[in-house]
Chain A
Amino acid sequence: MNLVSEDIGALRVVTVDEARLDAAVAIQFKDSMRKLTESGPGRVVLDLSRVTFLDSSGLGAVVGALKQAGPARSVELAGLTATVAKVFHLTRMDTVFTIHPDINAAKAGLADAR
């Protein structure tokens, strides 16, 4: 599970450098996200543009990352590929997360119009 974290001012960008966020890596992903959201900027954007496949375990881990970040920290998403966006839409999780078209839109603070 490769997560790359970069702080840009008050924004922490966490890039998931994996093609699949699935049952095989879900627990590792959630544990890594816990470390990355324990301290640092209050606004975290998860860049999922390299993730081409996400299953229900991966989705649960992204939700878990949001929950464990606590109420004082936001976890937003950016760069959902088509299949990943479909999973978020079918489970209505796209109504729970702020979703940006890409990381540049997230930096500009523009959420995807939904």
Chain B
Amino acid sequence: MLDRALGFMGHARDHIDRAATGAPHILHLVIPGDGGSVRRALSTIVDALRHMGVSVSLRGEIEIALAEALNNIVEHAFADLPRGVIEITLERRDDSFAVEVIDDGRPMPRGLPPCDATPVLDGKRAELPEGGFGWHLIRALTEQLSYSHAGGRNRLTFLVPIPPRARPN
């Protein structure tokens, strides 16, 4: 799934693959790159995960990581650009959900995602940070995070681990 060549569509397209068992194992959405579309996509994905029997805790972790990645794209990759397109793929594996997010916006500064800067909370109340939490949350909730920019597209991939007790036997 992750190295499959996928063309962008000009309109939203939802697709759910079903495994031989009948249980859907891949979610695939192509959405416009704006805040409202991101919100609706998250709702669609969380509903689909619920139907897949994913626990409320894991649904929450996937939603947080995905929301931060998608909001970053809308706010930064598409800032001051005409509306772009975002392609989201989630694949259920034995021990994790593999997430791939592709957009046709600006590349990350210096070609790299921000490193994990744990928010500094030691100052006075007036000095508390009100931002900079997004990448910290993504990195805290995911493994094997990878980013590349090629052919005018950003591609971010990561795994959200499934807790051992919630894995299929």
Contacts and interface: CB of A to CB of B under 8 A. Distances in A.
Interface of A: 20, 22-24, 53, 55-57, 59-61, 63-64, 66-67, 71, 82-83, 86-87, 90-93, 95-96
Interface residues of B, number: 28
Contacts of A23: 35, 71, 75
A87 B137 contact: yes
Given A86-B61, A91-B119, A96-B121, A60 B141 contact: no
A60 B126 contact: no
Contacts of A24: 35-36, 39
A46 B6 CA distance: 45
B136 A71 contact: no
Contact of A87 (B64, B125, B126, B128): B64
Contacts of A59: 133
Interface of B: 35-36, 39, 56-57, 60-61, 63-64, 67-68, 71, 75, 118-119, 121, 125-126, 128-131, 133-134, 136-137, 140-141
Given A53-B60, A91-B119, 16 more contacts: A20-B39, A23-B35, A23-B75, A24-B35, A24-B36, A53-B63, A56-B71, A60-B133, A63-B129, A82-B56, A83-B61, A86-B57, A90-B140, A91-B133, A91-B137, A92-B119
Nearest to B56: A82
A30 to B, nearest CB: 9
B33 to A, nearest CB: 13
A95 B69 CA distance: 25
B121 A56 contact: no
A113 to B, nearest CB: 20
A76 to B, nearest CB: 13
**Closest 4 interchain pairs by CB?**
A83-B60, A56-B133, A60-B130, A56-B134
B71 A55 contact: yes
A108 B97 CA distance: 42
B121 A82 contact: no
B128 A56 contact: no
B55 to A, nearest CB: 10
